[in-house]
Amino acid sequence: MISLRAWFMVLVLYLIAICTLLSRSATNSDFLFLSSVDKRDLDGTGHRMDHLGLTGGKLIRLFEKHLVHVASKDRGDVPIKVSRYYDAFKDYLFDESSKCNPVRSVVARLTRDVEPVPIHSHNDYWRSLPLFEALAYGATSVEADVWIVKDPQDSQKNALAVAHNENYIDSVHQSLDNLYTDLLLQMLNEVNCQDEDRSHGVFFDSPETTLFLFIDFKSQDNRETYSLLMNRYLKPLIDQNYTSYYDMNQHKMVWRQITVVLTGDFPNDLDVVDEDLDHGYFHDDKRYVTLESSIIDQSTMIPNTSVMAASSFSEMLEGCHSSLANAVWRGRLDHQEITCMKSMISKTQQNGVRTRIWGVPNWPRRTVKTFWRQIVDDLQSDVLNVDKLRLATRRF
Ligand SMILES: *[C@@H]1O[C@H](CO)[C@@H](O)[C@H](O)[C@H]1NC(C)=O
Ligand SMILES: *[C@@H]1O[C@H](CO)[C@@H](O)[C@H](O)[C@H]1NC(C)=O
């Protein structure tokens, strides 16, 4: 017995040694790769870190691994906008050569070889790379919390900034257009500039896949938030025909590249959303936003306005005479909980509405993975709400 155990220990140590060596050599070669790219910049070819050829999660991991290197790069007098990391990443993606050149476009640089997955990037704006990281991992749904702020360019006007907490708002660099809507507009313009139908979306290999853009209303004055959202931030996307809409004449959804979903404290009232009840906010018989409804309580849903419903994990468990504590303690959902929650999900889906369950605990990891599996496989919920993108994409 003892000798067997000793042999086992030797084997384990041996494996650890091999793994360490392998990971070392991988790091070194990546590092060489990146520094040779940098050398080329120094040669004065004009293209810092040109077209690396890595996309998706690999690109993100390359930047992450060399964060110090990337961030300490001498950028002259260029001031920091969002962060050195974000600014460097964005500079890499967006440069002159990508204009009207779909193969060199931001969409190609970021999402070529990336398979879109039904994942919702919860608190997306909180990541070190808002929007970009989600798209790189193929998440088809992102969420931005918006607040009304004084417009930094014009103190007479208001604007919308993206932040989690009202006390920490950078209205200059973290505005809704700087982090989301302007970037999406540029990205879509690049890939559609030679296309008659203008129907290419943000995923290179799956141009027809729509991106759900959740706008979470945080400020008290939700009418003003709505009016700013429509007139200032969404209008440019709408004018280019990039947003999905409900056709008020044909009574059906028309899917485009970006599908806007209002969540949080939004005005759940067609007098505000449509303003002109017969012809819609822009008087063109189209409704360019959809309203999030609830999985548990569908009574508040206005007919034909919703494509996404959500409820929290704990609310659903309580609606099923259980609790979050019970489920976490057990480490999985039991048969009764599954049957009950599944019926809530199916009822929502029967109305043509997709479902998202939020508030699934982030810890312990094994339990999280079990819950995710049960939510996707057993409950057949449509969109998985996650904080950890990389871990979640391995599920699909
Ligand atoms: C958007 O669609 C409308 C109606 O189909 C069309 O008239 C208009 O030219 C399109 N706009 C652009 C920028 O393609
Ligand atoms: C909702 O859509 C259906 C067709 O799918 C239509 O018959 C009905 O009139 C619509 N209701 C409203 C309020 O638009």
Q: For residue 242, which ligand has an atom nearest its CA?
A: 1
Q: What is the mean pLDDT of residues 318-331?
A: 97
> 309 pLDDT exceeds 90?
yes
**CB of 149 closer than 8 Å to CB of 171:** yes
Tell whether the model's pLDDT for residue 148 goes beyond 50.
yes
Q: Which amino acid is at 336?
A: Q
Q: Whose CA is nearest to atom 13 of ligand 2?
A: 303
pLDDT digits (tens, 9 = 90+) for 196-219: 889 999 999 999 999 999 999 999
User: If you take atom 5 of ligand 2, which residue's CA is the nearest one?
Assistant: 251
Give 132 Cα–ligand 1 centroid separation in angstroms: 28
Distance, CA of 234 to CA of 6 (rounded, Å): 66
Q: How is residue 207 written in tokens?
A: 């141009």
Sign of the CA dihedral with 24 first, then 30, 31, and 33 last: positive
Mutate which of 251, 270, 277 for ligand 2? The one with the most ligand atoms within 8 Å of its CB, which is: 251
Quick check: helix, strand or coil at residue 286?
Answer: strand
Q: pLDDT value at position 2? A: 53
Q: How much is the pLDDT for 3?
A: 62
Q: Ligand 2 centre and the CA of 347: distance in Å? A: 18
How far is the centre of ligand 1, averaged over its atoms, from the C-alpha of 240 (Å)? 7
In the chain, the amino acid numbered 79 is P
Residue 5 has a pLDDT of: 72
Ligand at minimal distance from the CA of 253 is: 2
More confident residue, 20 or 164: 164
- Which residue shows structure tokens 């480490």? 331
Give 97's pLDDT tier (boundaries 50, 70, 90).
confident
Residue 276 neighbours by CB under 8 Å, 6+ apart: 283
- 322: tokens are 């259980």
Distance 101 CA to ligand 1 centre (A): 21
d(CA 333, CA 328): 8
10 Å Cβ neighbour count for 203?
22
Residue 129: predicted pLDDT: 96
By alpha-carbon position, which residue is closest to atom 14 of ligand 2? Answer: 304
Cα–Cα nearest to 226, from 179, 178, 281: 281
State the pLDDT confidence band at 396, using cuts at 50, 70 and 90. Answer: confident
Task: Tell me, using a 6 A CB cutoff, whether residue 251 lines ligand 2.
Answer: yes
216 C-alpha to ligand 1 centroid (Å): 29
Model confidence at 47: pLDDT above 50: no
Q: Is the pLDDT of residue 122 over 80?
A: yes
Within 8 A by CB and 6+ apart from 200, the residues are: 102, 107, 188, 191, 192, 207, 257
Mean pLDDT of the 51-72 span = 84
Q: Is 46 in the pocket of ligand 2 (CB under 6 A)?
A: no
- What is the number of the ligand closest to the CA of 189? 1
The rounded Å distance from CA 243 to ligand 2 centre is 20
The angle at the Cα of 206, spanning 202 to 208, to the nearest 5 degrees, equals 75
- Residue 387: pLDDT band (50, 70, 90) is very high
Tell me what the pLDDT averaged over the chain comes to: 89
pLDDT in tens, 216-235: 999 999 999 999 999 999 99
Pocket flag, ligand 2, residue 189 (CB < 6 Å): no
Ligand 1 atom 5, closest CA: 241
263: closest CA among 144, 381, 382, 387? 144
Ligand 2 pocket, mutate which of 304, 306, 307 (most atoms under 8 A from CB): 304
pLDDT at residue 50, as a whole number: 55
Minimum-distance ligand to the CA of 306?
2
| Confidence category of residue 46, pLDDT binned at 50, 70, 90 | very low
| 121 three-state secondary structure | strand
What's the length of the chain? 396
Cβ atoms of 242 and 199 within 8 Å: the answer is no
pLDDT at 19 over 80: no
Mean pLDDT within 127-155: 96
How does residue 75 score in pLDDT terms, banded at 50, 70 and 90? low
Mean pLDDT along residues 86-107: 87
pLDDT of residue 224: 98
Q: Nearest residue CA, atom 2 of ligand 1?
A: 241
Report the atom number in ligand 1 closest to the C-alpha of 241. 1
Atom of ligand 1 nearest to the CA of 240: 13
Looking at residue 152, its pLDDT comes to 92
Which of the residue ranges 162-171, 255-264, 359-368 has the most confident prediction, judged by mean pLDDT?
A: 255-264
Atom of ligand 1 nearest to the CA of 198: 14
pLDDT of residue 41: 42
